[in-house]
Amino acid sequence: MLNKRRFLSACLAGTWALSAAGPVRAAFPDKPIRLIVPFPAGGAADAMARSMASRMGSELGQQVVIENRGGAGGTTAAEAAARSAPDGYTLFFGTMGTQAINAALYKRLRYDPVKDFAPVSLTHTTPRVLVVHTSVPANSIRELVALAKARPGELSYGSAGSGSSSHMSGALFESQAGVNLLHVPYKGSAPLMTDVLAGRVNMTFDSYAVYEEHIKAGKVRALGVTSRNRMASLPNVPTIAESGLPGYEVANWLGVLAPAGTPGDVIARLNGAIARAMATPALRQQMIGLGIEPTSGTPEDFAALIRSEIPKWTEIVKKSGATAD
């Protein structure tokens, strides 16, 4: 009887200690996770997010559901993610545009790219490809620059939205080439591609993943890539820098963020799942074939990248005179 009383007393004491420490959080995750993507379905960013989400879900044992919220340079989606509960069940597929460019481009940004988010991991880096419709009488970057100078304000370039990396790629091109192009913003890459293929827009700086089959079919011409080095997928297409605009470089990056205040153990769980997902051979082969470099890293490294990119793009925005307000 004495031993029984001691056992019951120990159990009661343990129960009291747990209650005093507060409620015990259930193992994360115990329900589906929402990943907000700041572009419509069908574009390159959407394809990257869906491929990653499928493998993340397998790693976490819960479905990762994509929620597409395009438009406004990603600001609507970013604001929605920033205002979500910091519990790990709402994530954001942030981009160079939403986390770095928008800070300079929008005077009345309704979210703070640094303070309102907890970086989880960098996931993708991808250069952009300058493609022109076949009706444009230019077969090289030099010929395109000469044409634009002869017809100021007439040649148009489309982007995935004001403040997107495709927009800023064009703004940087204008600044360095000394030309005046007409910027036409769209709500994502998918509707933009329709107009580029139809010739309603002369050119765009977009992902190779979006235009791969159309480049191969001869429906558009790839004149240059925005990265420092040539792409393995397009070895015969020169960089814009080597084609007469030295120093030109845009390497778009994307990654997963959570709302600020998300617990550290939840961030660590998500980070590990992303690292394993991005190392999957099938995913890597698929992405690299599309000119996209799958990657991963620590939350601290991703946070440092974001902080370093904001002043860089602030300077470029000021030089270009670009604005979204």
Instruction: For 177-217, write each residue's pLDDT tens digit.
Output: 999 999 999 887 889 999 999 999 999 999 898 899 999 99
10-residue mean pLDDT series, the chain (325 residues): 49 44 66 95 89 97 96 91 98 95 90 98 94 98 98 95 82 92 88 96 93 96 94 92 94 95 98 98 91 95 96 84 72
3-state secondary structure of 83: coil
Amino acid 168: pLDDT: 86
Residue 91 sits at φ, ψ, to 5 deg, of -120, 165
Amino acid 325: pLDDT: 62
Same topology between domain 33-125+252-320 and domain 127-243: yes
Q: How far is 46 from 50, CA to CA, in rounded Å? A: 6
Inter-CA distances, 162 with 13, 21, 140, 244, 323, Å: 60, 48, 26, 26, 8
φ/ψ bin of 73: left (φ > 0), alpha (ψ from -120 to 50), beta (otherwise): left
For the domain with range 33-125+252-320, which CATH number is right: 3.40.190.150, 3.30.465.10, 2.60.40.1080, 2.40.160.20? 3.40.190.150
Amino acid 9: pLDDT: 52
Instruction: For 65-79, write each residue's pLDDT tens digit.
Output: 999 998 788 999 999
Pairing of strands 251-259, 90-95: antiparallel
Q: Which one-letter DSSP state was computed for residue 124?
A: E
Class of domain 127-243: alpha beta
Amino acid 6: pLDDT: 54
Amino acid 67: pLDDT: 98
Q: What residues does each domain of the chain span?
A: 33-125+252-320, 127-243
Amino acid 18: pLDDT: 41
Q: Which of 297, 307, 6 is nearest to 125 (CA)?
A: 297
Q: Per-residue DSSP letters for 208-275?
A: HHHHHHHHHTTSEEEEEESSSS--TT-TTSPBSGGGT-TT---EEEEEEEEETT--HHHHHHHHHHHH
